[in-house]
């Protein structure tokens, strides 16, 4: 029997139906790869550096980033890029430069490499912009919560809001272990001075492990617990007229979302980009839902994270063990091949999930991807 027996054109199921509309906010912000060098490295705390990357000239595409987005950084010798939020509003960056806050993570490849010695002048590859995090257009109060190097995205959003003179109140809770972990205090004080004169800006650092005898008279405890007790339980703010922004460790974000949801805040009013690692599931593409719009291919941060394959081969386990990349000499003129996310190449940025207008990509899908060819006797073709 022919391999194409029972095979149907994927467009048949869409006959007479409107195609899903791509997210037009993605247009103009396609992910591009920029080669450049490390302009400077400055210590912010004992375990956090400010890294400034200078993108090379020579006709490289513009970055077109928004405050709140992030980029994937790659240096020679490391197997994968690492994702970091832009730490400054784009309009505050020098031409061709991007700033990041990098915290030293135990066993972290990129941060370990950066902290090993002075890396000024070394070559680096930046892919971006990534993510949909950013300032919403409402006039609601801004409730911001960050922890660790999550300061970066929130700081850039607040800096941009300040520059735009948005007519909104803002309350920023920042969680850290001790006073030695605090940074950007002067910069945040300056934002407070320049904030819209008819609205309030307040920054509240919350320390979870500060010694009792240190002289610290500020807020203590876990940042989301403190926010709940001193912001929600006492009715200080009206969540019906509020938007929440989170950036930081995934457990902190999860805790904060639960707190706000329990208090009645709608999920549509909570914004965040949660950075995952290799322990998190890679997204899977359901090719039976794909509408061939190429949105996922236009936001991929590395060359081989999403690839077109002619064959997925499974010997054991839930997912394919290997694949055959499409070859022009072997591929049919019709699109009956498969878009596939290589789990080993994927950096878990989930940009493809956000960009897909057809809900064809998800980390929750079965590890055995659905394809148009269906399941064959010895693999997925």
Q: Comparing 132-146, 164-178, 298-312, which segment has the lowest mean pLDDT?
A: 298-312
pLDDT at 294: 85
Give which of 34, 32, 127, 119 is closest to 77, Cα–Cα: 119
Cα separation, 47 vs 224, whole angstroms: 23
Q: Of 19-23, 232-236, 253-257, 267-271, where does mean pLDDT reach its minimum? A: 19-23
Give 263-291 pLDDT, tens digit per residue. 999 999 999 987 666 678 889 999 888 88
Q: How confident is the model at residue 333 (pLDDT cuts 50, 70, 90)?
A: very low
pLDDT at 322: 67
Contact 72, 120 (CB under 8 A): no
Average pLDDT over every residue of 26-47: 84
Domains observed in the chain: 1-29+279-381 (3.30.70.20), 31-130 (2.40.30.10), 141-272 (3.40.50.80)
In the chain, the percentage of residues whose pLDDT exceeds 90 is 54
Section 78-91 average pLDDT: 91
Tell me what the pLDDT averaged over the chain comes to: 85
pLDDT digits (tens, 9 = 90+) for 350-381: 888 888 888 999 999 988 777 766 544 334 44
Long-range contacts from 7-14, C-beta under 8 angstroms, 24+ separation: 7/336, 7/372, 7/373, 9/334, 10/288, 10/290, 10/292, 10/335, 10/372, 14/291
For the cut 70, the answer to whether the pLDDT of residue 40 exceeds it is yes
Q: Tokens for 95?
A: 């031409």
> How far apart, in whole angstroms, are the C-alpha atoms of residue 6 and residue 369?
19
Please give the Cα distance from 14 to 290 (Å, whole number): 11
pLDDT bracket for residue 36 (50, 70, 90): very high
Q: In whole angstroms, what is the distance from residue 351 CA to residue 349 CA?
A: 5
């Amino acid at each position: 029997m022919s391999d194409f027996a029972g095979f149907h054109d994927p467009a048949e199921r869409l006959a007479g139906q409107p195609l899903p509309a791509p997210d037009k906010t993605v247009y103009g912000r396609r992910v591009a790869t920029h080669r450049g060098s490390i302009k400077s490295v400055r210590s912010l705390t004992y375990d956090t550096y400010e890294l400034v990357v200078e993108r090379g000239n020579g006709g490289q595409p513009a970055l077109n980033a928004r405050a709140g987005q992030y980029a994937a950084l790659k240096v020679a010798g490391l197997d994968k890029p690492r994702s970091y939020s832009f730490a400054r509003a784009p309009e505050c960056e020098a031409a061709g430069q991007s700033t990041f806050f990098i915290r030293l993570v135990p066993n972290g490849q990129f941060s370990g490499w950066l902290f090993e010695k002075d890396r000024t002048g070394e070559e680096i590859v930046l892919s971006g912009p990534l993510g949909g995090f950013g300032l919403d257009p409402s006039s609601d109060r801004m409730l911001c919560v960050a922890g660790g190097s999550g300061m970066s995205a929130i700081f850039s959003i607040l800096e941009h809001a300040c520059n735009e003179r948005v007519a909104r109140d803002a309350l920023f809770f920042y969680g850290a272990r001790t006073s030695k972990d605090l940074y950007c205090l002067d910069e945040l004080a300056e934002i407070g001075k320049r904030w819209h004169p008819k609205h309030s800006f307040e920054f509240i650092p919350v320390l979870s492990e500060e010694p009792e005898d240190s002289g610290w008279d500020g807020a203590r405890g876990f940042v989301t617990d403190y926010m709940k007790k001193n912001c929600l339980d006492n009715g200080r703010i009206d969540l019906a007229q509020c938007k929440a922004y989170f950036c930081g460790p995934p457990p902190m974000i999860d805790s904060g979302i639960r707190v706000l949801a329990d208090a009645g805040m709608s999920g549509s009013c909570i914004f965040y980009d949660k950075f995952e690692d290799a322990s998190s599931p890679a997204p899977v593409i359901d090719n039976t839902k794909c509408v061939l719009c190429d949105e996922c291919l236009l936001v991929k941060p590395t060359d081989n994270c999403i690839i077109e394959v002619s064959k997925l081969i499974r010997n054991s386990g839930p997912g394919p063990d290997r694949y055959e990349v499409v070859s022009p000499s072997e591929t049919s003129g019709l699109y009956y091949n498969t878009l596939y996310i290589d789990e080993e190449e994927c950096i878990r940025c989930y940009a493809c999930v956000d960009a897909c207008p057809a809900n064809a990509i998800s980390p929750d899908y079965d590890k055995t991807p659905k394809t148009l060819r269906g399941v064959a006797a010895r693999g997925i073709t």
